[in-house]
Structure formats: C-alpha cells, structure tokens
Amino acid sequence: MIDNAKISLEFPVTDVAVISLHEPVKSVNILSREVLAAFAEFLDQCERRPGLAGLVIRSTKPGNFIAGADLREFVAGIDEADAKTSKFCRQGQELFARLSRAPFVTVAAIGGLCLGGGSELSVWCDRRIMARDERTSLGFPEVKLGLFPGWGGTARTPRIVGLSNAVELISSGENIGTAAAEAMGLAIGAPADRLLESAIALVRSEQQSREYLRDRVRWSGPISISETELAFLGATASASIQGETKGHYPAPLAALEVMLGAAGVDVTTACQMEADGFALLFGSPVNRSLLNVFFLQDANKKRTSGAGQHPRKIESVAVVGAGVMGQGIAAANLKRRIPVALGDTSAEAVARGVQGVVTEVSYNKATRAADPQRAFEYLPLLNGTQSDSEIAAADLVIEAIYENADAKRGLYARLEPLLGEDTILASNTSTIPITELAHGLAHPERFCGLHFFNPVRRMQLVEVIRGRQTSDDTIATVVAHARAIGKSPIVVKDGPGFLVNRVLLPYMNEALLLLEEGVPIKSVERGATSFGMPMGPIELYDTVGLDVALHAGSVMRQAFPDRVRESRILPAMVAAGRLGQKSGQGFFDYPPGNKDRAKPQPSDAAQQIIQSCLTPQPTAPSPLSPPQLTERLLLPMLLEATRILEEGIVGDVREVDLALIYGIGFPPFKGGLFFWADTLGASKIVEKLKQFESLGERFRPTKLALEYAQSGNEFYQS
C-alpha cells in the first residue's frame, strides 16, 4: 500500500488497484494540487503494473466522495491572463483523460457527495457505480460560482448521457441521486455497504464483455444528433435558462453554447472549446461575486460563537406557539431526529400544529408527496401538548408566539420556574430587543434570541441574539444547535430589528414613500428586481403580511424616529382588511389558483387606497430614472448596515453580507451588500447620496461611509 495523508494506492486483489481518498482534517475530500500530483503518480504506477485488470477510485470518508477542486488554490490565479486559465483547464483535462485511455477498466465508486471536479473525474472513468442511499448524489455546481465545468465535464458528460440530459445537469447546477443517475445511463446503483466489492465485480464483468472499449470509441467522437434536434434543444434550453436566471447569471447560457458548439467535434476539440470558454468566465464580476458568497458560507460553517469552547448538546427541544413559524422550527429539529414538544393554548391549535409538522417532515422529494412510512418514523418523536411541565422538560425551549412583549414576558414568567438548571429559553422574536424581553427573568443568562426566518424549511439563516446578560455558554450552545439542524447561525448583539430586519426596514420604508410620491407600483418593483432582488418590496410586503410589517415598522420607528418615516399607506391597507397573501388581498390580489402560491394580480382597490394617501407636492417632481429608483431603495439599506457596524451589532461586513443573502435574498451575483458597495467605491456612494440629501437624515452619509470615502479603503478591508 502506497499512502500519503490524503490519498492512497493499494491492491486488495492482485489485478485490481484501488485509489482511496481520505482527507484527514477537512470535512470533505478536495482535489488540491497535492492530491492531483499524487493521483498522477498513482496512475503512472498502475500503468506500469503488468496484468492489471482495473482501477477503482473511491473515498473512505463517510458521506463524501469528492467535493471538487480546492477553490482557495484555484482563485489564487484569478487575476491571471485568459491563456493561463485555459492552460490550467487543459492540464486537468489531460490528467483525467488518462482514465479513459488506461490499459485497464477504470471505475469511480461513489459513496456520498460527488461534486464539481469529483464529478468530472468520475465521468472520465469507464464506469461509475453509486451507492443506493440518501447521502449519495452527483452534480456539477460550477454555474453557481459563475463558471461551468473546466476539466472535461461539458465535453465528456453529453457523450455518456446524451446532450439533453447533460445540458439540464450542467446548466442547472443541481445534484441528482443514484436513481436519477441510473435512469439517464450515467451510473450503476449498488448497496452502500458493498460498494467496493460491486466495483471490483464490475471490473471483472467489463473485462469479459469488453463493452467499455466500445464505449471509449463512441465517447471520443462527435455526438449523434441532427441539426434540427440541435437547434430545437438550443432554443428550448436557452428560453428555460433565461427564464430561470433573468439574465443575471451568464454561466448556464455559456455552458449551453459550449456544449451545443462542441456536439459535432471529437472530445479533444470539445475539451479545448471548454477550456477557452471557461477562461472567459473566470474572474468576471459575477464569478468574483459568487466566489465571495461561497467563501462567506464556508467561513460561517467554521466560525465559532467566540464564546464558550464546549457547547452543550441539545437532546430535546420544545416550541411554544404552533403557528406557521412554530411548525417550521419544530420540523427543522424533528428532521434531525431531535424529540420535540409542540405547545399552544388550545387543543385545536396544537392539533393543527402537529398536522403541519407531520406533513412537512413526511414529504418525500422523490415522489413529491407525503410518505406514510416517514410519518410513522417521526411521529414518536413529536409531542403535541398544552402542558407547561412537558414543555419545560426540554433542553431548549423556543418561544414562537405573536410579537407582543407583554404576552411573551407573561409566558416566560409561567415557564421559567419549571425549567431545569441548564435549560435555555429562547425567543423567535423578529424585532423586540432581547434585553427588554429578559426583564423579570430569574436567569437572563440562559435567555437569548433565536430568530428563524420564514419559511423555515428553505431559509438557512438563524440570528442568534445576545442579550445584555446572556452568557457565553448559552450563545455557544445555541450556535452549535443551529448548525446541528442544518442552519447557518450569525451571532448579533441586541437591538431593535437585530441585523436583517433593521437593514431591511429602510428599503421597505422607502418603497412606501415612493408610492406616496406617486411612483407606480410597477416602477418601484422594477427598481428592485432589475438589481436582482428575488421580488419587489411591494410584493414582499404582501408575502410578510401587512399587519406584521405595520407592527415591525412601529417598533423600528420608535427606536429610530430620525430616519424612519411613517407611511399612511400601510395603516390604511390594514384597516381595509388587506393583509397580503394570507388574506388573498394586499397591494396585489391573489385569486385562488392551482398552485400553492397564486400569482399576484394588480388591484384597483389597493390603487385607490394608495391614491388617497399621496403626499401633496409643492411642485411637480422630476420623474426618477430607473437607476435612481434602485438607488433610492438600496442606499438607505447600505447606510443602515454601516450604522450596525459602527454600533458593533456585528463585527464583520462579511456577516452582514451573508445574513442578507440568506435572510432577504440579496442577489448572490452581487456578492453581498458590502461586496457590491466595494465594486462602486465608498466615494462614489457618497457622491450618489448628494442627489437625495433633501430627503433628510436617512440619506445622510454615516461617519463610517465618509471615512472610507476619504481613505479610499474598501469595506472588505475592515
């Protein structure tokens, strides 16, 4: 056996070699320069070994085959010339292509996640065998980084699975499981506990049938597809991609163009076309932004709370409040097999909550329906209750009732005497300061904010809010627990709106003020969506609920009266019973439809309310240009984010950027709020603010913004 710390070569049987990846430090195997060099050396040794029938490539790290290339090494050359990037791609292609020309059968035995460069390595093998378990999947996520596969993925995959399948797989960036890979002819399924044995048996079978040699010839030439089929695929795929990306993400279309253009040539020429196309994307603004988001996510996974080093493990959770948020929080815990008690004030509310949780946790993505077997598995872990003592028996009690400080404190007063010595009490409040809610608690050190976002099943962010008396151990424990249930926690200091809602409010408030000035809803929405926001602020009001937004706005206005202006529109809409999607009427109408989320329709009634609330203008204002509308919405948000840094609510611009990407859907292709600001430069931002100085304090440059404008430094240098 030949071994280094990360990759090894052994011969479990005389005529079959096995290369095993086993990264000892990181959570996943990655293709670093060191690993690739060792891999090349092992291929040399295998090719020199007489009588070798096959090579199996596998991972001995549970749940992971190969996660891809080492991105930190990869981006080190991001400022290099296109020719160097193309050469880098060609080197990787040539290394992996050796697997398709080796004097023996090559098999990738995939158990766990196989992504990016790992998927490219696998498609250069003669065969792929995948474990039949929930943890195993394969994908090409490069488009999510503003790139496409550069080590032969766009050249080799279409020749194995067909051009249409490859286009969908590569341009979407989504993973597929073993069953889907089998269906498209990409892999063969095998029992997870017999993966190596199955791979060796496959080597024997291929040596006898010699089918792999015929496939080598077929996969090295052009793709068999008519000009008519090619044109039809190009038109339909292009339209689909444009609809998904709205033109903000160029990589999926570029991948499509490369695959279509290379369909009629041999695989070597296709690889050169891939390398040249890859070089055009690498280092582009979108690529740099998406790489920044990747590194933000990676850093968050590794970041500690900065507090206790030994967080306690949460063995059981109770959620008080069985509404939509409570159900989502309960389901997130239940999916990780953590026992949950779900409480509310009435049997009816508890029953509805339990039904909602069971419906969510039993949902099967493959069948797109509830799976009774899953329901039976999870039901014993869920306790619907009205008993305070059953709630208080949990290690972590999360309050998720309505946003009323008195009601929340009343609940705490009732529960706290029943809690165990180490039990943590947390609130899912979205705006009320944690220190204020802690008044009257006997143990405020074991109380914190744990703010989930709706819908919990989709939203990764959890704000962990430290009250004035919250202990380090409490923060460390809830941070660890948030990660344990698959969320991305960000620790913030206490304050109205905390981080996300505080930064979001100026954006939302400005949208209402624009309406009062007579700007049409459609123009306000376009000002946001043209920037890349997933929906406009007016539709977001309807999604959140206008009554909820009205309450949150009043909390923020009391805290920041100098820059939060009251709008007459929101109270008028609520008074008219127009509460948004949940009532079927808000700024838009939501007629019942077949889909879960009805498409918003313009509303004459809402427009009449807006017209009645227009602010009289002494003179006819000049119409705002589309860029000015976007700036009116975004600049107050940026200024509020600088205030958060000045006040120490968070200590790093990167945490703000990740929180806004996860929490409000700030466009990833912009890299984050501060990353986007750095692309403009602080001095240009201050200059842009001058055009709105008559609007008051909310557009006045902060001390931090002026400091960076004068120094020329970037926010990301802080």
CB-based contact 101:148 (threshold 8 Å): no
Which of 439, 451, 481, 551 is labelled catalytic? 451
At 547 the three-state DSSP class reads: helix
Nearest to 661 by CA among 300, 337, 407, 172: 300
SS3 call for 116: coil
CA dist., res. 586 & res. 508, Å (int): 15
Question: If you search the block for the tokens 């611009």, which residue do you land on?
Answer: 653
Rg (CA), the chain: 28
**667 φ/ψ angles, rounded to the nearest 5 degrees:** -60, 120
**Residues in contact with 33: Cβ distance below 8 Å, sequence separation at least 6, in sequence order:** 70, 73
- Please tell me the distance from the alpha carbon of residue 341 to that of residue 237, in angstroms, as a whole number: 47
The amino acid sitting at 444 is: P
Give the bridge partners for 115, in sequence order: 139
* Beta-carbon count within 10 A of 586 CB: 26
Q: Quick check: 543 and 581 in contact, CB under 8 A?
A: yes
Q: Is 622 helix (H, G, I), strand (E, B) or coil?
A: coil
Task: Please choose, from the candidates 57, 67, 70, the residue with its C-alpha nearest in 3D space to the C-alpha of residue 130.
Answer: 57
Largest CA distance in the chain: 92
Identify the residue whose tokens are 């939501």.
590
**CA 231 to chain CA centroid, nearest Å:** 34
| Closest residue by Cα to residue 682 from 650, 654, 652, 641 | 641
What distance, in Å, lies between the first and last C-alpha atoms of the chain? 48
According to DSSP, the β-strands at 488-493 and 588-589 are unpaired
Please count the other Cβ atoms lying within 10 Å of the Cβ belonging to residue 193.
11
Which tokens in the block code for residue 542?
């309807």
Sheet containing 64-66: which strands, arranged edge to edge?
64-66, 113-115, 137-139, 176-177
Q: Whose CA is closest to 203, among 12, 2, 6? A: 12
Three-state DSSP at 110 gives: strand
Q: What element of type H or E holds 364?
A: strand 363-364
Q: Say which residues have a Cβ less than 8 Å from residue 457's Cβ, sequence separation at least 6.
A: 328, 331, 332, 360
Nearest in space to 361 (alpha carbons), one of 380, 344, 348, 347: 380
Q: What are phi and psi of 82, to 5 degrees?
A: -55, -40
Nearest to 462, CA basis, from 438, 428, 489: 489
CA–CA separation, 704 and 707 (whole Å): 5
Tokens representing 77?
């050359």
Helices within 246-384 (DSSP H only): 251-261, 267-281, 285-302, 324-334, 347-361, 372-378
HSE, CB side, 13 Å, CA atoms: give it for residue 387: 8
Q: What does each C-alpha distance from 304 to 212, 424, 451, 499, 593 come to in angstroms?
A: 49, 19, 18, 18, 45
User: If phi over 0 gives left and psi between -120 and 50 gives alpha, with beta otherwise, what is residue 129?
Assistant: beta
Catalytic: 248? no
In this structure, what are the phi and psi dihedrals at residue 11, rounded to the nearest 5 degrees? Answer: -130, 85
Catalytic residues: 451
